[in-house]
Every structure is written in C-alpha cells, then in structure tokens.
Amino acid sequence: MSEKPVVLVTRKLPDAVEQRLSRDYVARLNPDDHQYSSDQVIELAAGADAIVPCHTERFTAEVIDRLPATVRVIANFSVGVDHVDLAAAKARGIIVTNTPDVLSDATAEVAMLLILGAARRAGEGEQLVRTRAWRDWSPAFMVGTQVTGKRLGIIGMGRVGQVVARRARAFDMEIHYHDVRRLEPEAEAGARFYATLDDLLPNCQFLTIHCPAMPGTDGLLDAGRIAQLPDGAIVVNAARGTIVDDDALTAALKSGKLAAAGLDVYRGEPDIHPAYRELSNTFLLPHIGSATHETRDAMGFRALDNLDAVFAGHEPGDRVA
Ligand code: DGY
C-alpha cells in the first residue's frame, strides 16, 4: 500500500484494536464514543475508503445510497448484519464483512446466564438484597425452576447454538434443536433434530434463540408458537430482539403460560417494550453477549483482518455481501 486508506470508525474500539488501526490506516476514531446519526456517518465518511461500524449504526438502502463514492468496504464490528441492507450494499459494489466465530463463547456464556438467571429468579433476588427488602428465609421463598436435566430447545444450531449445547450438557440438559439444515452426527453429539418449529416447540422446557435476524425470522416467536411450548417453559434470547413478538411474549409471561424469560436483546433497544421492566419474571441484560475484553479484542482484530484483505486485493474471510 503506498498511501494508507482512510477508515472511519463509528464507536470507541478496544485500545489494541485502535492502535493497530492507527498504525496501518489513516484512522478516524471516535474517542468519546458518541453515537452518530446516519447523517453524521455520511458526513464523517467523506473521502473515507472504509467504515468500521457496529450494530448501533443503521445502513439502510437510503443511507448506503448517500455514502461517499470513495467507500469500498463496510467491515462490521459484529457478527449480526441485520443493521445493513446487504442487497443495497451489493448493488453499490460495497463489500460488507462481519466477525463470526470469535464471539460464540462469550455469547453462549450469556445465554447460560440468562437460562440460569431466569429459572432461578436471579433478577428478583438481586433486587431484594440490594434494596434491603430481603427480610427472611422460608421453604416457600424465591422458589424457581431447576435447570439440571431439563429439555433445552435451540432455534438456530450455528456457531453460538452449538457452544450453548455444549455448555448446557454440563447441566445434564437434553438438547433438542431446529435449524434449516441438520448437523453432521459428530456435531450433533446426540442432540435431537426437528425439521420444523412445530415439532420442536412442544418438547422445550427451555427455549433459547440463536438464529440470525432477517425478514424470515422477524416475529418468529409469536403467540401461536408460544402456545406450542409446554406450560411453565422458559424463553431466552441472546440473538436479536426482532425475532420475538414482544406483545405475545409479555402476554404469556403475564398469564403464567411461561414461567420466565431471560433477555439480552430487544426490538428497538435500548427503548424496550415497557412490560419487560414491569414484569417480575423477566431477567434482563443490556445486550452484553459479546462484552468481554477477550472477545471485543478478537472482534476488532477480525474486522481489521477483513479490511487488510480487501486493501491487499484479496477476498476477505468474512464477506457477507
Ligand atoms: C453482534 O456481534 O452481532 C453483537 O450482537 C454485537 O453487535
């Protein structure tokens, strides 16, 4: 590379990632971590060869259309790419990449945390202790659902789903799953495959969602599908909020059809459906599935590997458009 390409980075990235970026590129960083509007992204991208955004910036067809002609690549700091209109990027010849694999362990940890937290009423318990409202102990106090040995249904048995299955086996959970394709027997490791959600759902004492957000999965867990779950089931979502119909989920939590829900992601986050906050049987986290030092470094380096490949004239490893 004779002249270093210019890269707009929309959020504060880990120090080591920003150091490598600044060494290899003309980096336009965001040290104060302001959340940019689409107009600001377009303005700040003037003359840039690449953008490294997060899922907090939306690249609709309209935004992509208004990006400066210099922008050749959008190297996402995320595995999810539902914030980018991939067809529009492709039509404009903009390469789009993501960061798969490196966040599977961290996200699976949070899925397990949600399973345990929702089942064992961890949010309620913590609140009692913190607010000094904890007065007593009795056999009837804070009784929840045991996780050990239960049937866990996994929607989306990709990288994260498979790690969740491995972690859940340590709790003697029985793994049942649905995906668009069946895994090889070795990867399945005894998990039971269901070709349809209709077949899977009645078997799920716990249900955890790990499929991508896309038009076909929007509102996938709706009232009809929740009704197919056994009474007292527990639902967990560490994928994307749009996969769940919030009105249906909150109604099932209110009625007692579902015992609890553990959620890390929400439609319209951080402005979440108000009922989630009001219900006592929800265990709520603020989209921290990949938030570990190790994983955030690895996501940044993976995004930079993709950038490096593009500017060296190679096919990036994680091209999604
Ligand atoms: C991802 O990588 O998709 C995480 O949800 C953070 O954006």
Among residues 55, 121, 287, 296, the one annotated as catalytic is 287
Residue 210 designated active-site: no
Q: Are 103 and 86 in contact (CB under 8 A)?
A: no
The atom of ligand 1 lying closest to the CA of 98 is: 2
CA dihedral 122, 287, 255, 135 (to 10 degrees): 20
- Residue 299: name the closest of 23, 48, 105 by CA: 105
| pLDDT at residue 178, rounded to an integer | 98
28-32 contacts at long range (C-beta below 8 A, 24 or more positions apart)? none
Distance 84 CA to ligand 1 centre (A): 13
Residue 287 designated active-site: yes
Q: Cα(203)–Cα(181) distance, rounded to whole angstroms?
A: 19
Distance 133 CA to ligand 1 centre (A): 36
Q: Are 74 and 89 in contact (CB under 8 A)?
A: yes
Query: What φ, ψ does residue 129 adopt, rounded to 5°?
Result: -70, -45
Go through 4-23 and write b for each residue having 16 or more CB atoms within 10 A of its CB, e for each that does not. Answer: ebbbbbbbebbeebbebbee
Q: Which two tokens stand for residue 51?
A: 């953008």
Q: Which two tokens stand for residue 225?
A: 């599908």
The one-letter amino acid at 300 = G
Write the CB contacts of 282 (distance below 8 Å, at least 6 apart in sequence).
118, 123, 253, 260, 261, 262, 263, 276
Distance 314 CA to ligand 1 centre (A): 25
Given ligand 1 and candidates 13, 55, 160, 267, which is best to mutate, with the most ligand atoms within 8 Å of its CB?
55
Q: Cα(130)–Cα(136) distance, rounded to whole angstroms?
A: 14
Per-residue pLDDT of the chain (321 residues; tens, 9 = 90+): 459 999 999 999 999 999 999 999 999 999 999 999 999 999 999 999 999 999 999 999 999 999 999 999 999 999 999 999 999 999 999 999 999 999 999 999 999 999 999 999 999 999 999 999 999 999 999 999 999 999 999 999 999 999 999 999 999 999 999 999 999 999 999 999 999 999 999 999 999 999 999 999 999 999 999 999 999 999 999 999 999 999 999 999 999 999 999 999 999 999 999 999 999 999 999 999 999 999 999 999 999 999 999 999 999 999 999
Distance 130 CA to ligand 1 centre (A): 30
Ligand 1 atom 2 nearest Cα: 78
Among residues 121, 159, 240, 296, the one annotated as catalytic is 240
Residue 72 designated active-site: no
Residue ranges of domains in the chain, CATH in brackets = 6-102+293-311 (3.40.50.720), 104-284 (3.40.50.720)
List, chain by chain if needed, residues with CB within 6 Å of any ligand 1 atom: 54-55, 78-80, 103, 289-290
- Residue 244: name the closest of 278, 274, 209, 277 by CA: 209
| pLDDT at residue 9, rounded to an integer | 98
Distance 141 CA to ligand 1 centre (A): 37
Ligand 1 atom 6 nearest Cα: 78
